[in-house]
Amino acid sequence: MRGSNSKGKAPARVIGKAAAKQRMLKQLVCSDAPEQALRYHGFVRIAGIDEVGRGALFGPVVAAAVILPEEIDCLSKAGLKDSKQMKREDRETLDGMIRAMAIAVCVAEVDAETIDRVNIYQATRMAMLAAVQGLTVEPDHLLIDAMRVDHRCAQTRLFYGDSLSLSIAAASVVAKVHRDGLMREMDLLHPVYGLASHKGYGTPAHRRALAEHGPCALHRRSFGPVGMAAPDTVLEEQLMDELMFEAESLEDARL
């Protein structure tokens, strides 16, 4: 297939694009400016929404919805930003702060079987919608990282939102801490894959484990790299999309 190679590694141009994106994201400033703009127009209960694990080969995609109070300077001073740009200990500290001060928090998962059935894009939207619906306080506006959900609430789709909005960044942290913890638990049940290290992403170590042991029931069989270990269960033309997701998540997987 054009753009891939016989060993199933991500093409250099894909890795280069992902690295350039990471450099750009580090230059963005995460603040409450998007929330302030919405409050100026009368919105009060603003829910930040983000997902984690869209590009992984294993396990669920996880979404979180977080409604923060108006005064969130302490989160900014504590260094809240896109969870992928933070160290594990900083994320976990901020996760505790966010949960302690939030008006409402909800985390939702969509499993690998559903991802294979409906595709990762739709599964991500399903997880986001479930997170919003699970909030104990109904929001009056949704701030979502680059997507929209099937909800009657007013919505703003903010590209690179987890690097620009403290509410979305908070959802990013809550979702990632939850999913990373889940992957460490799954590592105890499926130790041959090294999930505690790479959190289910398509690292070289994970690919080698797939080649040696094959996928388990929690792998996403509609993703091309998993199909290399079980070619009768996957559509090979999806490979490049998944390679792009994985390349953009390599830094995330190393933390």
**145 class by beta-carbon count within 10 Å (0-12 exposed, 13-18 middle, 19+ buried):** buried
What does the alpha-carbon distance between residue 92 and residue 62 come to, in Å, rounded to a whole number? 16
Contact 205, 85 (CB under 8 A): no
pLDDT digits (tens, 9 = 90+) for 203-251: 999 999 999 999 999 999 999 899 877 755 544 334 445 445 555 555 5
154: region left, alpha or beta (phi > 0 left; psi from -120 to 50 alpha) = beta
Which CATH fold would you assign to the domain 28-254?
A: Nucleotidyltransferase; domain 5 (3.30.420)
If we measure between CA atoms, which residue out of 130, 110, 129 comes closest to residue 120? 110
Percentage of residues in the chain having pLDDT higher than 70: 81
What does the alpha-carbon distance between residue 198 and residue 65 come to, in Å, rounded to a whole number? 24
Q: Residues 24-47: what's their mean pLDDT?
A: 91
What is the reported pLDDT for 234? 42
pLDDT digits (tens, 9 = 90+) for 81-132: 999 889 999 999 999 999 999 999 999 999 999 999 999 999 999 999 999 9
What is the reported pLDDT for 207? 94
Return the minimum-mean-pLDDT range out of 16-20, 101-105, 149-153, 211-215: 16-20
Query: Does residue 161 surpass a pLDDT of 70?
Result: yes
Domain ranges across the chain: 28-254
The structure's pTM equals: 0.84
Q: What is the average pLDDT value for the chain, to the nearest integer?
A: 87
